[in-house]
Amino acid sequence: MAKKQATTKKQKPDYLGRAKKEINEFIEELVRAGKVTKNEGEKYLKRFWKETEDEREFLREKLEKTARDIKKKIDVPTREEFEELKKRVEVLEKHHK
């Protein structure tokens, strides 16, 4: 009897969601302990998420630039160059049949 293979994909861990929850809980603890006001806590959270988003954008741009630089160094054609060559080959194949 053949075993049935699982059809569900392995889910990625939700690190960002988990971090957000833990950070919110930490700020709430500080507010409850009287170390910061609720308003200050909200400001800290807002600033933290803004800086996190800025850092993520910076890393995305840096990764894209690095990928482009690597492609140039190893002389890999761009998608556009590949598609153009593909069209030229198709035209040549049609004319030689």
Count Cβ atoms below 10 Å from residue 27 Cβ, excluding itself.
20
Amino acid 36: pLDDT = 94
pLDDT above 70 (res 52): yes
* Six token digits for residue 56: 């993520």
Cβ contact 35:17 at 8 Å: no
pLDDT of residue 35: 95
Map out the domains of the chain as residue ranges.
Answer: 30-95
CB 35 within 8 A of CB 44: no
Report which of residues 7 and 94 the model is more confident about: 94
Tens of pLDDT, residue by residue over 73-85, are: 898 888 899 999 9
Average pLDDT of the segment spanning 56-74 = 92
Confidence of residue 8 (pLDDT cuts 50, 70, 90): low
* pLDDT score for 9: 62
Residue 56 has pLDDT above 60, yes or no: yes
* Position 36, amino acid: V
* Spatial separation of the C-alpha atoms in residues 26 and 19, rounded to whole Å: 10
Q: Is the pLDDT of residue 6 over 60?
A: no
State pTM to two decimals.
0.52
